[in-house]
Amino acid sequence: MVPDIDTLTAMIRDRQIGDRRLLVAIAGAPASGKSTLSERLHHHLGGDEAGAVVVPMDGYHFDDAILSARGLLPRKGAPETFDTGGFKRTLEAIRTDDDDVYVPVFDRHLELSRGSARCVSQRHRIVLVEGNYLLLNQSPWDQLASLFDLTLFIDTPLAVLEKRLIQRWLDHGHDQPSARQKALDNDIPNARTVAEYSKFGTAIIINNA
């Protein structure tokens, strides 16, 4: 059975223990629907006023200048193009729950991260963390799993991802050949990495075809 949004919301609520902060990982390949699901859950949980907040992994993209210096700009979005250490330290600070934590948010139109663009404040008791590599069984990503109380994984066929990823690049102004090349050269290999090297364990699998 594929859990619907009400069932998922109830699962999250059921994991809450008193006032302890709850971290929920929402993982999946590029274009699998992570952001959409995160936004829907955020809404169904009552939004910011009810103590829910979304923390996107994409805010931890290395800047293009760093990627260019390392010869990684064509691979932007691959596991090695993120500040995994900074991301982990942020999640640990959120987990510790001592103070407000400010997180960066990636701006797709500008193709860069805006620092301290969102606040995880003391009133936020449910933190929805969304990203491609949250379950990746490769160092240093494999250090993240213990920080989450509940993990959701969106399982999407590669053919569906390819179609969505090409459309994403078309929406960014690329023509059909360019959009297809960008999707196949980088996005689809990243999607295969997620599918082949994620450690699902106790994750709740959500089919999104």
Mean of pLDDT values over 121-129: 97
- Contact (CB, 8 A) for 147 and 91: yes
Q: What is the pLDDT of residue 3?
A: 79
Specify the DSSP element, H or E, that contains 9.
helix 5-15
Mean of pLDDT values over 83-94: 98
Rounded to 5°, the CA angle 107-52-109 comes to: 10
The amino acid occupying position 77 is G
Residue in the block written with tokens 């139109």: 109
Mean of pLDDT values over 107-130: 94
> Distance (Å, rounded) from C-alpha 163 to C-alpha 69?
31
CA distances, 62 to each of 46, 54, 75, 188 (Å): 32, 20, 11, 20
Q: What is the pLDDT of residue 2?
A: 63
User: Radius of gyration (Cα) for the chain, nearest Å?
Assistant: 17
174 vs 201: which has the higher pLDDT: 174
Residue 33: is its pLDDT beyond 80?
A: yes
Q: What is the pLDDT of residue 86?
A: 98
User: What is the band of 1 on the pLDDT scale with cuts at 50, 70, 90?
Assistant: very low
Q: Which of 108-112, 119-123, 197-201 has the highest mean pLDDT?
A: 119-123
Residue 154: is its pLDDT beyond 70?
A: yes
Mean of pLDDT values over 170-193: 94
Q: What is the pLDDT of residue 34?
A: 96
114 forms bridges with which residues in the sheet?
105
Q: What is the pTM of this model?
A: 0.95
Question: How does the average pLDDT of the chain come out, rounded?
Answer: 95
